[in-house]
Amino acid sequence: MPQLTYREAIRVGLEEALAANPETVIMGEDVGAYGGSYAVTKGFLEQYGEERIIDTPISESGFVGAGIGAAIAGMRPIVEIMTINFSLLAMDQIVNLAAKARYMSGGQMTVPLVIRTVSGGGNMLAATHSQSLEAWYARVPGIKVVTPSNPADALGLFRSAMADPNPVMYVEHSLLYGSRAEVPDEPYTVPIGSASVARPGTDVSIIAYLRMTPVALSAADILEAEGISAEVIDLRSLLPLDSGTIIDSVNRTNRAVVVEETWEFGGFAGEVIAQINERAFDSLDAPVLRVAGVNVPTPYSRPLELLTIPTAEAVADKVRSLFQA
């Protein structure tokens, strides 16, 4: 099995999509001449030409909406929004058009569109450029939201997103691009709506997604040394959510901590906890807890920013608290 970085895995997915369908185009800000602001599409313009690798003006509402329109017309476009922060300017098109066209037309329209974007903090980019907004989109029926945490899932989920007839928000994390791991050689997919057991364990389930998955895995390492066996569940998709895998894990471990990078209040962790309470209450030996981002706009200053994002140590601490009684 080859070792690929997260960035390379996404590139493989993009190249497969371009090869598979001549009506697949990539459009977004600086995807061409600049090579993509995270260098994911570097060299594509030279290779595929400007008919298919399209540098758009800085017009998020316009070009995301145009991607939706092209998809409704039957093309299979891939739209890149440079970061999820800028998706706010396109939110109307995503929420009011992409998510509703199928339903509101009584099933006459489909929107086979992949929207790639980048989420997360930790880069000292301050409040407007450090947000994790994927959970907002994961509240909207009609779109799907996937959040790969490693190279193999990045490719497998990308393939599924391209094969899906619905609009899929494919959310990457800026701090994962350089991470490297094995990616299977054979053709495989990761179905949308399937969580994975990233690490098996018996004493507690730590449920995470995107960059919080590696954080949860580090926490599990710390805990192992203390004799606590933590299972790590990587959600991989937020919408649809694979609650089966979560419930199954909690039924075995009887304890759970949910980890989320961004604001705790009203967050995705709350949804996961509600589902556990509804469906696995009887197997719980302790309340389900969460570790999430601090409810403030992200500050620039490094020492302050570091306080806003969950760490492995904080996750381990929260898990320990479940065993003290």
Partner 1 sequence: MSTQTDLTIPRAELLTLLRSMKLIRRFEERSAEHYARGNIGGFLHLYIGEEAVAVGVISLLREDDRIVTHYRDHGHALARGLDTAACMAELFGKATGVSGGKGGSMHFFDVSRGFMGGHAIVGGQMPLAVGLAFANRYRGQDSLVVCFLGDGAVNEGEFHESMNLASLWQLPVLFLLENNGFGMGTRVERASAQPVIHRLADRHNIRSRRVDNGQDVFDVREATQTAIDYIREGNGPYFLEIMTYRFRGHSMADPLEYRQQHEVEPWLDLDPIRLLTARLHESGLATPDEIDTIDADVEDEVNAAIRFALESPFPSPDELYTDVYA
Ligand X SMILES: Cc1ncc(C[n+]2csc(CCOP(=O)(O)OP(=O)(O)O)c2C)c(N)n1
Helix (H, G, I), strand (E, B) or coil at 80: strand
Non-local CB neighbours of 127 within 8 Å, separated by 6+ positions? 297, 298, 299, 300
Which is closer to ligand X, CB of 39 or CB of 58? 58
* 41-60 residues near partner 1, rule: CB under 8 A: 55-60
- Residue closer to partner 1 by CB (options 191, 299) is 299
The answer to the question of residue 177 lying near partner 1 (CB under 8 A) is no
Of 170, 228, 238, 250, nearest to 208 (Cα)? 238
Pick one of 82, 98, 146, 319: the residue that binds ligand X (CB under 6 A). Answer: 82
Of 8 and 60, CB closest to ligand X? 60
Which two tokens mark 283? Answer: 């197997």
Which residue is listed with tokens 């000292």? 124
Could you tell me the smallest distance in angstroms from the CB atom of residue 63 to ligand X?
11
- Tell which one of 108, 303, 324, 325 touches partner 1 (CB under 8 A): 303
Task: Choose the binding region for ligand X from 82-90, 253-261, 290-298, 313-321 (rule: CB under 6 A).
Answer: 82-90
Q: Specify the DSSP class assigned to residue 84.
A: T
60 is catalytic: yes
Instruction: For residue 108, give both structure tokens.
Output: 């006459």
Active site includes 51?
A: no
Q: Which residues pair with 234 in a beta bridge?
A: 196, 208
Q: Which listed residue (62, 191, 240, 270) binds partner 1 by CB under 8 A?
A: 62
Q: Which residues pair with 3 in a beta bridge?
A: 182
User: Cβ–Cβ contacts within 10 Å for residue 258, how many?
Assistant: 29
Residues with catalytic roles? 60, 129
Q: Which residues bind partner 1 (CB under 8 A)?
A: 29-30, 32-35, 37, 55-62, 85-86, 88-89, 123-129, 294-297, 299-304, 307-308
